[in-house]
Chain A
């Protein structure tokens, strides 16, 4: 009886823990994320399809493979990173780009505020 309760608690805790990252992204406010984008990203990134600036277009970035935007000259590091820009990867990358992709040419120090990152990712997810 006791061990069954402990097991249930453990399972509940496990489920909760594994659900936290996706919950935090799901809770992201896309409108607030657009504001973060405007202040941190627009200098180098367009949200228009195929419009590459200093950085690649971020239209459709969520779900895209690293180094795959056509007609953009990626760093070798980004090209060979072989990652999918899902929410979890973006979260880590946007927190510290050079940690996730050492050698990336993106001169962005990262967004350390988890809520702002979640909002930004929520906004990026709307770009499709």
Chain B
């Protein structure tokens, strides 16, 4: 089990849902919210999400409290994933180019997104709080059911949620500030 963010897996689920929606998915989960995705997210995150989404889907099919909480988790994660896909993660796709020292006017779309991340930081944090809460519930249910697999998954996901707060979202803000600064300087 890789330590993956449940929120990220939800994001991938969202992306996957967008890709395969026409064919339809036969499962009991609520449909991911419709999101206008104008820019993609980094491929590595999409891959992570695919693995984790699959895992969460499996957990949601387990009997009893573990399955019940996992189903609840999917709803929250899908909601947060919609936020991430819409304006948090896309600017990260620019990092390799920025690291090469290249900034071009066609990157301006990312500034609008990062400004939105800054403006909605508290709401985004609140989504993390709700995700943490459901992960706590999942661990509690997993312990009661002696489900080590589910417990490990929830703990790893919590670690990745903190990764978002500590690294990913601040990095997104820095990307926006950097592009704005460079474009203003005529690069």
**Residues in A lying within 8 Å of B, measured CB to CB:** 38-40, 42-44, 54, 73, 98, 105, 107-109
1/0 per residue B91-130: CB within 8 Å of A? 0000000000000000000000000000000000100111
Question: Once the chains are docked, how many angstroms separate the CA of A38 from the CA of B155?
Answer: 13
Q: Is the CB of B140 within 8 A of A107?
A: no
Closest partner residue, chain A, to B164 (CB atom): A107
Q: Is the CB of A43 within 8 A of B165?
A: no
Q: Is the CB of B162 within 8 A of A105?
A: yes
Question: Once the chains are docked, how many angstroms separate the CA of A38 from the CA of B151?
Answer: 13
B133: chain A residues within 8 A (beta carbon) = 108-109
Size range of the chain B interface in the assembly: 20 to 34
CB distance from A1 to the nearest CB of B (A): 57
CB distance from A105 to the nearest CB of B (A): 5
**Residues in B lying within 8 Å of A, measured CB to CB:** 125, 128-133, 135-136, 139-140, 143, 154-155, 158-159, 161-162, 165-166
Closest partner residue, chain B, to A75 (CB atom): B166
Q: A40-B136, A42-B139, A43-B139 are in contact. Are A109 and B158 (CB under 8 A)?
A: no
Question: Once the chains are docked, how many angstroms separate the CA of A42 from the CA of B136?
Answer: 8
Residue among A40, A105, A107, A109 with max Cβ neighbours from chain B (10 Å):
A107
A39: chain B residues within 8 A (beta carbon) = 136, 140
Question: Once the chains are docked, how many angstroms separate the CA of A42 from the CA of B142?
Answer: 13
A54: chain B residues within 8 A (beta carbon) = 158-159, 162
Given A43-B158, A44-B132, A54-B158, 4 further pairs, Cβ under 8 A: A40-B136, A105-B166, A108-B129, A109-B133
